[in-house]
């Protein structure tokens, strides 16, 4: 089974050691899952050769596109740029760090006839117990505020109907973006399917997801949105 068209994008920051392999992998997989496709790299202010490598590949592969942020704006900003740039009927995103196998995307395609969102969740986190514990605590925090109740909030392996994505206004520029997106999908009543995916250990490059500043920013953005929702409900009740 193939989709009529698919936009695949990769939020990227300083991934010069991985981006060429990821794009080559995507060029192999994409034709098997979509009749028409594009590969979009969102370079979020990289200070290495990430953008130069992508530009070089674009010469021989017109399906590859590059969007560059002049400075690092955050994971959420990169996702918003990817959603905005996507031109085709389905949108898929994953990170450029090679921790997921794009071939598993083929398992998502059959569910597009019944669901507008297909969400991957990691069977086991490859980084070990420490990151798994942090993720569990963040999930409990998000579920307490927003009752999202999905298995793996920030798993970067998700497929969406473009019409659904373009109907949602996202605010977060940081790591809270995934939770915000899922909350707003839930509020719209959008049906979704959760599918397990394999998670591999990062072999090259440096992760940023465990940075304490990233985690604190995500928590603050979550609280800000929660208070905004509560204030809106209070004002609506008063009227």
- Beta-carbon neighbour count of residue 212 at 10 Å? 7
Domain count, the chain: 1
Burial of 228 (0-12, 13-18, 19+ CB in 10 A): exposed
CB 116 within 8 A of CB 190: yes
Edge-first strand order for the sheet with 34-44 is 64-69, 34-44, 3-12, 90-94, 157-161, 117-122, 192-197
- Domain of residue 190 covers 3-238
> CATH number for the domain including 29?
3.90.550.10
CB 45 within 8 A of CB 74: no
List all residues 6 or more positions away from 38 whose beta carbon is below 8 Å from its beta carbon: 6, 7, 8, 63, 64, 65, 86, 87, 88
Query: Is 103 a residue whose pLDDT tops 80?
Result: yes
Q: Which residue has the higher pLDDT, 195 or 203?
A: 195
Q: Which of 185, 186, 165, 171 is nearest to 228 (CA)?
A: 171
Cross-strand bridge partners of residue 11: 42
Burial of 181 (0-12, 13-18, 19+ CB in 10 A): buried
Q: Which long-range contacts (CB under 8 A, 24 or more apart) does 107-111 make?
A: 107/195, 108/159, 108/195, 109/1, 109/2, 109/3, 109/33, 110/1, 111/193, 111/195
Confidence of residue 239 (pLDDT cuts 50, 70, 90): very low
Quick one: angle between helices 212-238 and 129-146, nearest 10?
A: 10
Q: Which residue has the higher pLDDT, 11 or 227?
A: 11
86-102 tens-digit pLDDT: 999 999 999 999 999 99
Residue 120 is encoded by which pair of tokens?
Answer: 């991957």
In three-state secondary structure terms, 157 is strand
pLDDT at 208: 63
Region 64-80 average pLDDT: 96
**Whole-angstrom Cα Rg for the chain:** 18
Looking at 80-84, 101-105, 155-159, 175-179, which range is the least confident one?
175-179
Torsion of CA 164, 199, 121, 210, to 10 degrees: -80
d(CA 114, CA 157): 18
């Amino acid at each position: 089974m193939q989709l009529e068209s698919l936009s695949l994008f990769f939020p990227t920051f300083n991934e010069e050691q991985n981006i060429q392999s990821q794009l080559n992998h995507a060029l192999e997989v994409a034709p098997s899952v979509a009749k028409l496709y594009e590969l979009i790299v969102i370079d979020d202010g990289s200070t290495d050769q990430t953008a130069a490598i992508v530009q070089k590949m674009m010469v021989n592969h017109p399906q590859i596109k590059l969007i560059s942020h002049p400075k690092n704006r955050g994971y959420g900003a990169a996702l918003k740029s990817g959603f905005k740039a996507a031109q085709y009927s389905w949108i898929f995103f994953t990170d450029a760090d090679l921790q997921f196998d794009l071939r598993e995307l083929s398992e998502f395609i059959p569910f597009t006839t019944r669901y507008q969102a297909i969400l991957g969740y990691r069977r086991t986190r490859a980084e070990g117990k420490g990151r798994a514990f942090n993720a569990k605590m963040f999930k409990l925090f998000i579920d307490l505020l927003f009752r999202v109740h999905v298995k793996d909030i920030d798993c970067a392996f998700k497929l969406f109907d473009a019409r659904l994505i373009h109907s949602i206004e996202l605010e977060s520029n940081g790591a809270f973006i995934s939770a915000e997106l899922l909350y707003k999908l839930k509020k719209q009543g959008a049906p979704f399917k959760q599918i397990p995916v394999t998670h591999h250990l990062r072999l090259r490059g440096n992760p940023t997801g465990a940075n304490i500043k990233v985690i604190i920013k995500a928590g603050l953005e979550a609280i800000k949105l929660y208070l905004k929702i509560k204030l809106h409900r209070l004002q609506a009740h008063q009227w």
